[in-house]
Amino acid sequence: MRKLLNVLFVTLPDAYLFLDTENVCVKKDSETLLRVPLLNLEQIVMFNYFGATPQLLGECAKRQISVSFLNEYGKYLGTFHGETNGNVLLRREQYRITDDERALNYAKSFIFGKLHNQKWVIERGIRDYSLRIDTGLLKKQSGFISKQLEQVLSIDQEENLRAAEGNAANYYFTAFGELILQNKEFFSFNNRNRRPPTDPVNAMLSFAYTLLANDCRHALEVVGLDSYVGFFHADRPGRPSLALDLMEELRPHFADRFVLSLINRNEITQDDFEFQSSGAVLLREQSRKKFLSSWQNRKKEVIMHPFLKEKVEWGLIPYCQALLLARTIRGDLDRYPPFLWK
């Protein structure tokens, strides 16, 4: 099993990265703030303006360390990585599947996993906080998602699958705000919005989804798949469609519950946000650091993978699912097993 290495997040907008022997160094003005051995890294994620030296990027490419660039608000801009992994036969089969009826079977597995996990985020809330929430509403919404879940595997048209996924999302996010237990007036949540997010909860969800999409893209490239050619999300220049496919089943437990925990544990408060004149709501710079630190700590928690029956860190789940997807495309598995968690 792959070892979970570290991710270096650079959030200072005026920082600059350079290579010193086998270390990545973070420099601001004339002061070196941090020195990290490349041996310990699998990704570098940068929110800064000044970038990195070609020497550092070249060494990262040789070591298969991806370097991702996001703007200061967390919007994904692109990724630099080295030589393409995997053999060409795997990718050619991936491309063939996207062009025939088999693509729908993969899409149904992703969406089945998403709906299952959405349902169990709600059910877990009912179990743990029944005296503090509207259990009637949550049970009703969970029941609606169950009906969509029953239909997914028998769907034979892509537009029907998209309809089921959209309906379930509406039911799920109607219930999501009820799972917020602290400072409910400030962290009020009515619906999912983005580009830009217009409330603190959506700001955190969007940031978490950006991080998760980056982890999924990296995992797919590691196992030799093309993260830009998907089965459910349409191809679009610059869009990592397969990473977004893989991310669907992981959103509820990996990102949504993470955001809920930050709020309910008072790790993130109303002082952590800035409200812009355009209506956009964003995490402050220091708050992004706090968010990222908690994100990395969460990834170190160990769980039992429900299909592999092995103990793995949360941070390796995207890699495990990417590996299972590659095995399915090669024909080692009859059907892709989505990540199903309670």
Indicate the pLDDT class of residue 193, thresholds 50, 70 and 90. confident
Residue 73: pLDDT over 70: no
Give residue 296's pLDDT: 86
Which residues, listed in sequence order, are joined to residue 44 by a DSSP beta bridge?
8, 67
- Given a cut of 80, whether residue 70 has pLDDT beyond it is no
Q: Is the pLDDT of residue 86 over 80?
A: no
How far, in whole angstroms, is CA 340 from its chain's centroid?
A: 16
pLDDT confidence of 109, banded at 50, 70, 90? very high
Q: Which of 10-14, 68-72, 91-95 has the lowest mean pLDDT?
A: 68-72
Mean pLDDT of 28-52: 82
- Give which of 263, 277, 253, 210 is closest to 123, Cα–Cα: 253
The tens digit of pLDDT for each residue in 160-190 reads 999 999 999 999 998 998 999 988 889 888 8
The tokens for 260 are 């809920």
The arithmetic mean of pLDDT across residues 299-324, rounded, is: 88
Residue 251, pLDDT > 70, answer yes
Task: Judge if 6-80 and 88-330 fold alike in CATH terms.
Answer: no
Token pair for residue 299? 């990834």
CATH superfamily of 6-80: CRISPR-associated endonuclease Cas1, N-terminal domain (3.100.10.20)
Return the domain boundaries, the chain: 6-80, 88-330
Q: What is the DSSP string of 76-125?
A: EEEEE--SPPS-HHHHHHHHHHHTSTHHHHHHHHHHHHHHHHHHHHHHHH
CATH architecture of 88-330: Up-down Bundle (1.20)
Burial class (CB in 10 A: 0-12, 13-18, 19+), 324: buried
Binned at pLDDT 50, 70 and 90, residue 266 comes out as very high
Q: What is the mean pLDDT of the chain?
A: 87
Find out whether 292 and 74 touch, Cβ atoms under 8 Å: no
Residue 2: pLDDT over 60: no
Give me the pLDDT at residue 108, please: 94
DSSP state string for 244-274: HHHHHTTIIIIIIHHHHHHHHTTSS-GGGEE
> What is the value of pTM for the model shown?
0.81
pLDDT at 312: 85
Averaged over 255-269, what is the pLDDT? 93
Gap between the Cα atoms of 42 and 135, Å rounded = 42
